[in-house]
Amino acid sequence: MNFDKQVVIITGGTRGIGLETVRAFVDNKALVILFGSKEETVASSIETLKREGRIVKGYYPDLTNFEEVNKVINEIYGEYQHIDILINNAGISANLPIEQTSSKDFSNIMDINVLAMFNTIKAVVPFMKKQNKGVILNTSSMVSIYGQKSGVGYPASKFAVNGLTKSLALELAPYNIRVNAVAPGIIKTDMVAKLPKEVINPLIEKIPLGRIGEPRDIANAFLFLASDMASYITGVILSVDGASKN
C-alpha cells in the first residue's frame, strides 16, 4: 500500500495500537502526525520513532476541548493544505462494577472515548469536504458487540463509537468521505503482556485462532480501510478478534 505524501493524523499514537499504527503508515510513505495526551510522551515517542528511522510530528491537545483541537487541526492544514486520513485511537478503559463507578468516572470515559472523537472529526470535516475526499477511522472494541461483565462505561462508549461511525458514514458519503471503525479483540499491548499465564491462557483458549492479537494486526486493518482497496467500504465496524467471544 502506498500512502505517498498523504497526511495522516493518529490520536492516541504514543503507545500500543496507536504507536504501531503510526509505524505502519510511516512505512507506507504517509506524512504522519501523532497526538498524545502529554508533551513528554509525545516527545518520547517521536524520539523512539526517530531512532527507528521514522520521522513524524506530534501534538498534545486536550481532545475534550474543541477549541484546542480545532486550533491544532487548522495549523496542520495550514502547513500541508490537505488532511487525508484521521484515525481516532485515543481512549481509556474501565472495569469497575457499577456500584463502584461514580458519575464523574462515567462522564470521564465518555468524554475521552466519544467527545474527543467527535471533536477531532468536527475539526477535520470542513477540510475533507473542501477536498471532496477523506477517510475517518475510529477504534471501537469487541465489547461494543458483546458487552462486558464489569466497567459499563467502556462498552457504553464503544457502542456510541459504532453509532457515530455508522451515522457519519451516511452523512459524509456525498462528500466522498468514508467512515469506518475497527473493533479489536484481546491485543498484546504492554498491559496485557504483563498479565500472568494463569490469566492469559484462559483468554487464549476462547479464541478460535489460538492466539492473542498483535498491535500490528490492528494497524494492518487500519491500513486496509484507509487504502483505495477499501474505496467502496464505509459505515463498517470491522472485528479483528480472531473470532473470539467475550
In this structure, the chain runs to a length of 246
**Cα→Cα distances 34→126, 146, 164, Å:** 20, 30, 22
CB 17, CB 222: distance < 8 Å: no
Contacts of 71 (CB under 8 A, 6+ apart): 61
Tell me the C-alpha to C-alpha distance, in Å, between residue 42 and each of 5, 64, 224, 239. 22, 17, 26, 29
Round to whole Å and give the CA distance between 125 and 132. 10
154 is catalytic: yes
The residue from 59, 60, 77, 154 that is catalytic is: 154
Catalytic residue set: 154
